[in-house]
Amino acid sequence: MRKFLTTLLFFAIPVIFAGVAFEILLRNIPNDYSYKSHFLDKNARNIEVLFLGNSHVYYGIDPKFIQAKNFNASNISQPLDYDLKILEKYQNNWDHLKYVVVPVDYFSLFTKLESGIEAWRVKNYDIYFGMYSDYDPAHYFEIVANQTKYNLERLRKFYFYGQSDLKIDSLGWGTGNHSQNSMNLLESGMVSAKRHRKASEERFLKEQISVLHKMADFCKKRNIKLILFSSPAYKTYVKNLDINQINRNKQILNAFSASDKTVQYYDLLTDSRFDSVDFFDADHLNEIGSKKLSLIFDSIIKSEPKD
Amino acid sequence: MLFNSLSFAVFLPIVFFLYWFMPTKTRAKQNLLLLASSYFFYGCWDCRFLFLLIFSTLLDYYTGLKIESATSQNTRKFWFWLSISVNLGFLGIFKYYNFFATSLAEMLSGIGLQVNPWTLKVILPVGISFYTFHGLSYVIDIYKKRISAEKNFVDYSLFVSFFPLLVAGPIERATHLLPQIKRNRQFNYIHAIDGLRQILWGLFKKIVIADQCADLANTIFNDTTSYNGSTLCLGAVLFAFQIYGDFSGYSDIALGTARLFGIDLLRNFAYPYFSRDIAEFWRRWHISLSTWFRDYLYIPLGGSKGGTWLKIRNTFIIFLVSGFWHGANWTFIIWGLLHALYIMPSIIFNTNRKNLATVAERKILPSVKDLVSMILTFSLVVFAWIFFRAESLAHAMQYISGIFSESLFRMPQKQPKVLVALIIFFLIVEWIGRTQQYALASFGIKWPRLLRWTFYYCLIAAIFYFTGPEKQFIYFQF
């Protein structure tokens, strides 16, 4: 046995060394998650309006159009339970927080990050936000979350050309969806709707509704208003969704906001203020649309009675 | 928990160290540890199905004892058929109920009767076909008085649930595995190193060969109409390497892992793509299932002793059942029937045991005749894989008609040069090691340690380079 363990140790040393070095180098590349985590560590106490949620907020809310001190803490595919985890992580720091704005979209109540094709993103919360999501060790390492080919490309871009993984501005808005590069709205509508229909599973509904309740309780205890909304989307996306699930979502959210005075719900899914020029693809806004949506929320917040 | 996951890379060393270094080590304690680890391993998929596994184990353990202690033939028969029917009943409900319900409804609608089939929304428990077959062989062997019933429940449970073989085989026999479970096991350096080497080769097959082939094969199979004949042909060949790399890779990891605990499992693959005829292919592909069907279906049906027509009938039955074992879909049944047709000439002309020895034994290269035979056999196998991979019979027919068109002679629309190079490298290593249990058992074994280790590091680097989000093993669905 001793011979076996010695041989194994000698054989494994270079492999372990290479793995550790690779992991450290990858973690040193600045990315959206590390930036947002550091920002909240330093500035959570000053924030008045916090935007959470998925890519619809990540690309759709540009904080510079909102007067109050605010931050866009959303991330691509960030589900409701991770929104709650971010709120809870900084629970002792929200000294000035008055509004939490969270999208509840077609798929929000019917998906979980860990179960879908975006499960690889869980590691970002564990590594950069210091959360403890589950027992899967793969969720705590950069090297196993993505294809090594992709990770090598990240290393090359950062260490040879200085290009980091940051795709946001200083207040957390995703700058990648520019109107000049807009996608075909007909095709993207069909593709995204199909993907979101396929990803939706009934088994997550109960758990995500319970997350909404926890979020509402969290906000109520701290005198924070919770604003929920359905993100605007183009008609080619909406018409390809399951109408029953859309109606069910509306019903749940209307009932939820009606039963709790501290919660407001805005249904912007088919809002007529948004037109084709506002969309990068059928369910994401470009910089024109994000300005529009940000100003809508600015006016909602301004219209709120001051305490 | 997948073999190609980080969770398994953490789980395996923990179990290994506890197993060999536990204080006051006894065989009973080691077996208990392996059983607990196996249940944990299985429970990581879905805890609910753990109860099904334990129930199935309890049933076969109890009926085994009852069959053995029964004083009358009727009582023996009662317990025997109880076990068989409950085992097959579970398999039927979880795996085949929806298939029969929808097939019946379609048949009735064909004659003008509209029936709304009552289908079940059930998830197939991982490995149910494998552990059910373990239990069946055990009960049949007791009934036929080939073995005695196992009295120790932990030992029996470990025979059914030993984690390396639990979800995708090899399908073990009580006569082979139980004696090893009941024997004291000593750590053996050579065996352990060999086990690690086999795990390494299994991971290479799975991640570098199977998963890379899968990406392209899936693209081609999922969009059949967009590709010309030569690309579809390439897609079918890539699927052949995908399924081989995937399943034999799994088996290698299973065998290597078991060897770390001092246990030898049945060999499941013996270089099937170097077969010179279909009969040889079936002696080399999924050996534990083929021999299971031979011993528990083909021979009880009369085997090859009752004349040519009986042999033909029995051959069709086992290939039909083998196809159906893989899944409730007509595509698997046609796949099985195609193989039955392929093997027919050798059954009729009694040439099915012509190629028993390894091809080109003690030679570097095969003869032209052997090479042609191997290519022909491989082509037949690839053709049958199209049915196995297709979503439906219509999809398979569309795929085949796409291949056999004038575009077959055009350049493929996909030219995966790196993948082809990897497959060639893989075939070379397999060819060199074709007389061994697994290819890496002999490859480079006489090289100086530095060179050999460098080769292993290269394999690890390739595995690491191509690794990505974990991909399931194909045979988990069966």
Query: How far is A181 from B64, CA to CA, in rounded Å?
Result: 69
The answer to whether residue A64 scores a pLDDT higher than 60 is yes
CA of B187, closest CA in chain A: separation in Å?
7
Q: Which of B134, B191, B286, B326 is catalytic?
A: B326
Q: Which residues of A touch B465 (CB under 8 A)?
A: 148-149, 152
**A15 CB within 8 Å of a chain B CB:** yes
pLDDT digits (tens, 9 = 90+) for B332-341: 999 999 999 9
Nearest CA-CA distance, residue B322 and chain A, Å: 32
> Residues of chain B with pLDDT > 70: what percent?
96
CB contact (8 A) between residue A15 and residue B20: no
DSSP state of B226: G
Residue B119 has pLDDT above 80, yes or no: no
Q: Does A119 touch chain B (CB under 8 A)?
A: yes
Size of interface A-B (CB pairs under 8 A): 46
Where exactly are the structural domains of chain A?
31-118+167-303
> Which tops the pLDDT comparison, A221 or B91?
A221
Q: Is A9 exposed, middle or buried (0-12, 13-18, 19+ CB in 10 A)?
A: exposed
- Range of lowest pLDDT (A45-49, A81-85, A138-142, B37-41): A138-142
Nearest to B232 by CA among B447, B413, B68, B60: B413
Residue of B203, B459, B464 to mutate when probing chain A, most A C-beta within 10 A = B464
Place of tokens 């997948």: B2
Cβ within 8 Å, pair B469-A137 = no
Among A86-95, A155-164, A198-207, B259-268, the range scoring the smallest mean pLDDT is A198-207
**Any idea which of B56-60, B262-266, B348-352, B375-379 has the lowest mean pLDDT?**
B348-352
B170 upstream amide cis, omega within 30 of 0: yes
CB-CB neighbors (< 8 A) of A138 in chain B: 5-7, 470
In degrees and rounded to multiples of 5, residue A52 shows phi and psi of: -120, 180
pLDDT value at residue B473: 62
- Give residue B101's pLDDT band: very low, low, confident or very high (50, 70, 90): confident
Per the annotation, the verdict on B326 as an active-site residue is yes
Kindly determine whether residue B5 and residue A1, on different chains, have CB atoms separated by under 8 Å. Answer: no
Specify the pLDDT at position A305: 73
Distance, CA of B52 to CA of B54 (rounded, Å): 5
Nearest-CB residue to B469 (from A8, A15, A120) = A120
Mean pLDDT of chain B: 90
Contact of A203 with chain B, judged by CB distance below 8 Å, is answered with no
Query: What single DSSP character describes residue B434?
Result: T
Residue B120 is predicted with a pLDDT of 58
Whether pLDDT at B122 is above 70: no
Please state the ipTM of this predicted complex: 0.77
Q: What is the pLDDT of residues B162-178, one digit of tens each?
A: 999 988 879 999 999 99
- Region of residue B94 (left: phi > 0; alpha: psi -120 to 50; beta: else): alpha
Cα separation, B220 vs A66, in Å, equals: 49
**Interface probe with A: pick from B6, B17, B190, most Cβ of A within 10 Å:** B6
Q: Which residues contact B327 (CB under 8 A, 6 or more apart)?
A: B95, B477, B478
Contact, A230 vs A104, CB < 8 A? yes
Pairing between β-strand A279-281 and β-strand A284-285 as defined by DSSP bridges: antiparallel
Output the pLDDT for position B123.
Answer: 67
**Residue B177 has which token pair?**
């595995």
Distance from CA of B7 to the nearest CA of A (A): 6
Contact predicate B146/B64, CB 8 Å: no
Of A3, A119, A149, the CB nearest to B465: A149
Reduced DSSP (H G I as helix, E B as strand, rest coil) percent helix, strand, coil of chain B, to 5:
70, 0, 30
Q: Enumerate the residues of chain A whose CB falls inside 8 A of the CB of residue B9.
A: 137
Q: What percent of chain B has pLDDT over 90?
A: 68
Amino acid letter at A175?
Answer: T
pLDDT at B216 over 90: yes
Maximum CA extent, chain A: 75
Query: A145 contacts in B (CB within 8 Å)?
Result: 469
Sign of CA dihedral B293, B321, B131, B207: positive
Q: What are the backbone dihedrals phi and psi of residue A248, each rounded to the nearest 5 degrees, phi first?
A: -65, -45
Domain limits, chain B: 6-185, 190-276+355-477
Is B268 within 8 Å of B170 (Cβ atoms)? yes
Residues of B in contact with A141 (CB under 8 A): 6
- Tell me: pLDDT of B308 over 80: yes
- Tell me the three state secondary structure of residue A91: coil
Residue with token string 């029953």: A244
Instruction: Report how many helices (DSSP H) and strands (DSSP E) chain A contains, helices first.
Output: 11, 7
> How far, in Å, are A51, A66, A276 from residue A301 at the CA level?
12, 9, 26
The shortest CB-CB distance from B5 to any of A119, A138, A146 is to A138
> In chain A, which residues have their Cβ closer than 8 Å to the Cβ of B453?
11
Distance, in Å, from the CA atom of A284 to the CA atom of A286, rounded to the nearest integer, reads: 7
Query: Does B209 score more than 60 pLDDT?
Result: yes
- Would you call B193 and A136 a contact, using CB atoms and an 8 Å cutoff? no
Can you give the pLDDT at residue B469?
63
User: What is the Cα–Cα distance from A96 to A98, expressed in whole angstroms?
Assistant: 6
Burial B123-147 (b: 16+ CB within 10 A, else e): ebbbbbbbbbbbbbbbbbbbbeeeb
pLDDT at residue B472, rounded to an integer = 62
pLDDT tens by residue, B20-47: 999 888 999 999 999 999 999 999 887 8
Chain B hits for A148, CB-CB cut-off 8 Å, are 464-468
Closest alpha carbon within chain B to A13: B457
Q: Would you give the DSSP letter of residue B411? A: P
User: Which residues 147-166 in chain A show a CB within 8 A of chain B?
Assistant: 147-150, 152
Residue range A31-118+167-303 in CATH 3.40.50.1110: yes
Rounded Cα distance between A80 and A53, Å, is: 7
Alpha helices in B95-173 (DSSP H): 97-110, 128-143, 153-161, 163-166
